A and B are shown apart, each in its own frame.
Chain A
């Protein structure tokens, strides 16, 4: 970027100078051990727990005070098949043992929060859905719920829209966890599992395509409801998946859960305690793997989750195997939820009949000039949202997915921030990896299940 100053005018140059003075922030590297004091070692370990200097010094002698020539700092990534995108890990190794680890992110950063400020609330869904691209519905849901909170219509969403949203959110969770099954299997060498997981996820995506028109990046959940009603025959589509999956999940059990090699690779690997998980802000399957029962669907219910019966799956050891087992069983719980939704899906509107946020029905546009203008205005100018700020969160497949919006009264958010669970969860990596083997590093990354689109936004 150094040559950018040459092509800009004087004001810009002085702006750059000021900024440069203000951003002397050093590099992000993992520095050699000889250059570090105990305090700085703690700083490099990054988001680990509070440690005294003495404790940090002790970290240095793991497993037994290595000389510099015995250790090696290597880069894993940013392009590495098991980093699920472009995650770079700097690892300090002694032989096969990982002494330190530092995740370096930002390779997929495209400034989506800034983009969100340029798009209207009606367009915002297309932006957020691309963040954590494996749970698009959850992203849209958080965004729509925050917008509705600001509009003050969060209590008026039609019943059918709410149940459709829940149906789609649970199907999305299934798709995301199925893909985790695939990648987790692939990372650990169960390559056929990759094909199976991908195959089952595709079934869910096919259903999404029928409903939303797209396999991913749906922009289906919108402020005020959903984009379109469920298509004819949707029930058969859901039932087909519900009939198909149990048998396939049992196959996963045969292939992986009970298999000795699988257990050897995962049990006791990447252990994290409840205290550590809470301190690091980890949510979702990582937090639950430590035995903390926390699921927003049950503990701070939104939509109609309080009317449904489902179990919150928790682990007890906080290791990679627990996280695998939790996700596998969460697919089963989601199926249980979807069955209940099928029974209870009400009829009615799929979006709020509030002229302020909802465009007129397509048929009206052909016969009414006012409807045409109304439609045009909503899609060109968007709708205005009262001044204020709101935070809404949902339980995404990877943990708490929240959206914080500040409105200045215009049709664009003044500030739109997504609390991405992957971004926060990735801080657990240095902690889980310390003292483990390089081969386990892959299992650990896989078990955290980060989506780099969500991490970097």
Chain B
């Protein structure tokens, strides 16, 4: 099970402070939605948690492990931030087996795990005999999300998971994430510009502005929707 503690985390790009979070705790089993306008610092925040970026100050702790000091957290963490996570010159099958192998999964176990994503893949990912680079943006997004979940991670981080997906796939991934949370109790962090999807699946929502978490919203019965719509001035 995974808990994230943020301790005075800051990231500066030149004179601009992209992330500035004093203390923040994401509890075990939370599904946290991260929302904010472009440049609010959502992706930078995820990259800092995942040690893909060096913090200017402070640290992110995953199960009390400083993510920049140890790699133990990688065993139980899955993430998809952008296309850079994919290996373009492999087929999806090769890529899934490669990721599975890194987590000690046999081919049969990977195949079994893939069956849970059959509806999501919609017959357009497996058995296509083409490299990932030749897939559409939507299918690349699907490959990335599946690869992040293939080893049943206790901590799942997805940046803009609904991007590029058709409406049916958006609906399916929402169900997959909800079911995954219920079945495994995993901690899930997602960022999105889509307020409806975020409020649909996230019981807790953090609103980011200029790198700071300005509101930590308890989304009971989608109660956050109005507050978010007011903030983003959606008419």
Whether A and B are associated in the same complex: the answer reads no
